[in-house]
Structure 1
């Protein structure tokens, strides 16, 4: 072995010894793998405390992150079969979702779940603007906004059901460390606007199987892989969303049948989305009651 070969050998050995192991000694977050029926029943049993109240979930994020795919994945889990109501595109590098769209999830022949998803045009230098997302959060945007010109899509008198109750940022795990600065700034600005409106914020990290081969081999490694945890921590630092509000998922993409592990991650994220939104609804209702009580006392 030549001197240069020996030098390269020892450098490789030294690098391997100093690198963090790919797997943690134990999962840093617990999840009920294989116990999907309990979480599924939790979602099916959810009812807002106020009759007629609808929990509205707004998804936003970079172009191609998988907002529409997440909606389809949620519907697939709840329907018990593959479902593709929200159209997705596998070829366009531009934004495929062109407008503001509401997705209701059917529960029975004539019934729907008491929560809805809203999809909006993706974030890009030429995509949706921060003020558009702010108006949507305030309930002042009607379905179809951004698609049909010359039609009034501004809602002058939004109801409690029109307003957004939880904001979810959808991010491609492959782009966390190379995200365009302008998009990153938009996410921060949208977060600030949501905070002013007291709307809780979460993040969904998609395409985790593409970002980590260890997860592609076994999805149950998701909370054991150092690399993914570091990506989540980096995103948390970049935009300010706490780690306990960030959930990694794998959307249904190439599968034709449901997978128990994929369902587990989607249900885990969905359950927390519902809880965050429901807490906001209850807090907002209590604030309204307090304001009404104070007005009555002053009369």
Structure 2
């Protein structure tokens, strides 16, 4: 019993409203970018088999109120299932969709998987829907899937790194380095970044029995710290979740963690939009010298 107490904190180090998931659910349902027609694009990347497609399916299941598996996912042992650049829209009504989309890509690997340069091109909106990733070469600029003139809606607004908590300790250093390289490029593009820590129920038996202990379990906090130190994503941008993978009915606690992560992703994307809009407004203002300095008096040349 004393050993168990050392593994569990006396109180949660991060608060989450387990009893009222409807608040976060309504927040997501009410979300609407200020600019008409603006689309929040969320790009998922990470090691093969980490649960990118399963996270997309889990989000869709929570928002639709039933199990949904539009994004095809493989089991843990069969590696990366996603081969093409795919956009997933989530239906909100009979003929409407949520104003955010998820993009899924091929998983990262030490020697195989998606090229870092292809992820960078995707962030810039230069990869067209349906492009089949080549693990041996980057996407050719002269090819039919290269978008030479991306619009704002084509570009990525939030980058999400999906990591398997169960295999975090043994992650290959080359894969770690690729994640860091992608993060550096995203920072250069001013794209906010989030990490999703999946399969947390496989790491701790305490969580497997009671998901609400996720923020009381020292082991999970240490896993998050470990990943934060390895790639540089701050702790307040890392969210542990449990994806739906074997369940046939929704679970309130699973939903609460997914909605907490999704709400924060949306907030970061909205901050990105507001920052870009502010920069754009400032660039249209006349320089201060032009506003404040009076015109010189007219002088007649002798």
TM normalised by structure 1 equals 0.90
1:177 positional shift:
1.2
Q: Which has the higher helix share?
A: 1
1:129 positional shift:
1.3
Partner Cα separation in structure 2 for residue 237 and residue 155 of structure 1: 35
- Asked if 1:279 is matched to 2:279, the reply is no
For residues 248-259 of structure 1, the aligned pairs below 5 Å read: 248-259=240-251
1:62 positional shift:
0.4
- Counterpart position of 1:118: 103
Q: Which runs of 4+ in 1 moved over 6 A?
A: none
- Counterpart position of 1:219: 211
Q: Deviations over 1:80-99 (max 9, x none)?
A: 00000000112653321001
TM normalised by structure 2 equals 0.89
Partner Cα separation in structure 1 for residue 133 and residue 114 of structure 2: 12
Q: Residue 89 of structure 2 aligns to a residue in which SS?
A: strand
Length, aligned pairs only: 282
* Farther-moved stretch of structure 1 (281-290 vs 112-121): 281-290
* Farther-moved stretch of structure 1 (277-286 vs 260-269): 277-286
Q: Deviations over 1:123-181 (max 9, x none)?
A: 01211111111100001111111259996111111111011000000000011111000
- Counterpart position of 1:139: 125
Q: Is the 8 A contact 2:40 2:157 kept in 1?
A: yes
- Asked if 1:84 is matched to 2:69, the reply is yes
Partner Cα separation in structure 2 for residue 61 and residue 20 of structure 1: 33
- Asked if 1:24 is matched to 2:9, the reply is yes
For residues 131-280 of structure 1, the aligned pairs below 5 Å read: 131-146=117-132, 152-280=144-272
1:34 positional shift:
2.0
RMSD of Structure 2 on Structure 1 (CA): 2.0
Of the three residues 21, 28, 38, the one matched with 1:36 is 21
Q: Deviations over 1:42-73 (max 9, x none)?
A: 00000001000000000000000000000000
Unmatched segments (≥5 aa) in structure 2: 291-302
Partner Cα separation in structure 2 for residue 110 and residue 196 of structure 1: 37
Q: Is the 8 A contact 2:192 2:272 kept in 1?
A: yes
Q: Residue 113 of structure 1 aligns to a residue in which SS?
A: strand
Partner Cα separation in structure 2 for residue 94 and residue 288 of structure 1: 43
1:289 positional shift:
2.3
Partner Cα separation in structure 1 for residue 237 and residue 63 of structure 2: 22
Partner Cα separation in structure 2 for residue 34 and residue 80 of structure 1: 17
1:293 positional shift:
3.1
Q: 1:269 to 1:257 in 2, by over 3 A?
A: same
Unmatched segments (≥5 aa) in structure 1: 1-15
- Counterpart position of 2:300: none
